[in-house]
Every structure is written in structure tokens, then in C-alpha cells.
Amino acid sequence: MKILHLDTNHPLLITQLNDLGFTNDEDYTSSKEIIESKISNYDGIILRSRFSIDQQFLNAATNLKFIGRVGAGLENIDCDYATQKGIKLIAAPEGNRNAVGEHALGMLLSLFNKLNKADREVRQGLWQREANRGLELDGKTVGLIGYGNMGKAFAKKLRGFDLEVLCYDIKSNVEDKNAKQVSLEELQKKSDVLSLHTPQTPQTVGMINSKFINDFKKPFWFINTARGKSVVTNDLVAALKSGKILGTGLDVLEYEKASFEDMFSSTLPEAFDYLIKADNVLLTPHVAGWTVESKEKLAQTIVDKIKAEFYNS
């Protein structure tokens, strides 16, 4: 089988696939049109988020048997059409779930203890202890929306705290010892913290809007390490201004490009200007799953899944 690699990844990916007898070609610079013109020569492609895999591309990929996405989400791929054409979709959420769980916990603890604000003030010669008095997680209720690989990883990290963890998911019977599955209404009634762990789908785009936020019975903290387009940023900022949302940690933003690159190549909206100036907002550049360890684990997960599906020893 011939595999085309469209993005650079951990070197073990190509090394191990070579060892298994696959032919691996690399093209990290050609335009989508050029890739499309030669894709019929390949049985598999492996990418991160370089460009979208749409119906036109899939129609040109007449011999394609699988698409490997070195990451968790598949929103850049027309999954329904690929499945119709018998193409196997391979993602690797197992590879970076631990990284995401740790990042979400780090964001939450930083917000509760005002670490980013306090650090900035001390560097400016300010020593304001009372203004930086923190909160404790113990005794709080954390609500998770989406309880797959990422949600479960975050819940596992929370086990060291004396708190309640609730989860809501469109699938039934996903709860485990780390989280109790409840209705969305119960989660909105009880949660002091909301953490989002959903993929980007038509159902989740714009899900966190004014109505959704106002359905919470009390002010809450909000963490998003999932997908930026799930949040209506204008509504989030309005909730921050009103105090309905007490603070937010955002690893992802509504304004991101599909390739997750070049965030600042165009003029950004007024709501983003508020976010970058607010003391109760913590921002990171879509790196929750982007650790030294996860780079290796993501690649290994893809290799293992390709081997299980397509390797004949």
C-alpha cells in the first residue's frame, strides 16, 4: 500500500510504517490542487489539518482505502461521503487525551487562583495580596459536556479534589467512577464550572450561546479545550461582562482558521479585543493536546490502527 503524508509528524510514524512494508511518500508543500491531481496513486493519506478533504477531493482519490488524522477531530473531512465510498477514517483521540485533561485542569486552577493576573502584576512591581485571593476547587461541582476520550481524561484528573463531577453526553451510559451522567438541565442547575469536550458537528456549532448560558442557575466558570466554533464569542463576552460567567479559559477560538494557523492574519472582532484585555480570561493557542508526549502518542496510535486494519503479517 502507498501512503501520502501531507503534514509533518513524529518520525516514528513513517519509520514504523516503512518497517511494516508500506510505501511512504511525503508532500508538505504542494497545493491542494496538485495533491488532488495525484491522489489516485495512493491507498492512504495521513494529515493533521492542512486542508479540508471534500467530495471533489474524495472523487479524485479513486484508490483511497483510509484517511489517517493525527489528532482527535475529523471536522475537516467529509466523513459521510468518505464512508459511503468505503474509506476508513482513522483518528487518534487516545493519543492526546491526557494532554487535554492536564491542560484543562491547569487552566481551571490558574483561573481560580488568578495566577496569570498575579504573575503579571508582580512583574510590574505590584504586590497585591488581597486582590489576588483565590478560590478552592474542593466543594465545587464541575460539569462536563461531552464524555468521550477528552471528557473522561479531565474527569480522571479531578479525582484528587473533593468535588462532584457531572457529565452530559448525547450517548447514554457513558458515566464511570469519575463522573455521574445527568441530564443537561441538571448539569445547568448544579455546575459551578463548565468544561466543553465535544467535537465540531452541526449540532455543536454555536451551542454555547446566550440562551444556553442563561439556562445555568448560578454564575459559573467556563473552560473550552474542544472547538472554538462551539462558542458564540459575542454571547460569551456579554456573559463575562454581566458576571454570569465568572471567568473563562479558552484554548480554542471561534475565529480560528480551519488549518488552526495564522489567527492574526486578519482583523479580529471587538469581542476578541475584550478577551485579550480581561483579567479573568486565560487564552492559549490551541495547544491543549500539543505536548511533547502527545506528539509521539498520536503518531503511535495512527500506526497501531493502520497496522490492525491493513497489515497482513
Q: Which positions are catalytic? A: 227, 256, 286
Q: Nearest 5°: phi and psi at 107?
A: -60, -45
